[in-house]
């Protein structure tokens, strides 16, 4: 892959890091080894990204942009049922995690704010804002902003927790085998009915 243009090298590097993360986890990523496998010097990747963390941030940005685009498509659908829209958003989150488990784990292993990744932080805010809007559309008009925020947080914590428990195998020794769709629908209904 010698002679790669800057943009081609960037894409090849990100694809290779994503592949290593998926197969062995983020801790196995060696930028010098990946550079060598791409046929470039060990320093070439660092001309594109100042550190391994910046490479991870670029990968996470890409995944979060995909999730945000999915949420935007759901939000834009002409449905008259706001509960169905909220359920679809939650299910899309679960499906996203199941499709890209390594990237999902990577995305939630760091804080965009702590990394100083301003663009990533903004994307995360956009994603969560769509969840809050979807919750707000399902509750009575007199519901306060604080109540909407609490319901959004509780719903998101439940859905995220379900995904993480399943992905990490922490429920494998329990005799609980609930389909994602049942958990999502029950969580949405439970949060909306809660006072």
Confidence grade of residue 1 (pLDDT, cut at 50, 70, 90):
very low
pLDDT tens digits, residue range 90-123? 999 999 999 988 888 888 777 777 777 788 889 9
Asked if 115 and 153 sit in the same domain, the reply is yes
Provide the domain limits for residue 96.
56-193
Residues in Cβ contact with 44 at an 8 Å cutoff, skipping those fewer than 6 apart: 9, 35, 38
Asked if 85 and 21 sit in the same domain, the reply is no
Q: Tell me, what DSSP letter sits at residue 27?
A: G
Inter-residue contact 89 to 71 (CB < 8 Å): yes
Kindly report the CATH number assigned to the domain that includes residue 14: 1.10.10
Q: Which helix (H) or strand (E) holds 190?
A: helix 180-193
């Amino acid at each position: 892959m010698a002679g790669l243009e800057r943009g081609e090298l960037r894409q090849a590097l990100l694809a290779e890091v994503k592949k290593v993360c998926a197969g062995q986890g983020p801790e196995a990523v060696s930028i010098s080894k990946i550079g060598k496998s791409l046929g470039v010097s060990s320093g070439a990747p660092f001309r594109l990204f100042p550190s391994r963390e910046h490479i991870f941030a670029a990968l996470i940005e890409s995944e979060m942009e995909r999730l945000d685009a999915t949420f935007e498509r759901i939000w834009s659908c002409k449905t008259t049922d706001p509960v169905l829209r909220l359920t679809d958003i939650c299910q899309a989150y679960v499906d996203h995690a199941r499709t890209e488990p390594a990237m999902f784990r990577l995305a939630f292993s760091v804080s965009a704010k702590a990394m100083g990744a301003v663009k990533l932080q903004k994307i995360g805010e956009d994603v969560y804002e769509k969840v809050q809007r979807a919750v707000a559309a399902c509750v009575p008009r007199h519901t306060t902003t604080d109540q909407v925020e609490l319901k959004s947080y509780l719903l998101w914590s439940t859905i995220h927790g379900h995904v993480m428990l399943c992905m990490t195998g922490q429920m494998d020794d329990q005799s609980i085998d609930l389909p994602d769709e049942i958990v999502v629908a029950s969580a949405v209904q439970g949060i909306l009915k809660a006072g």
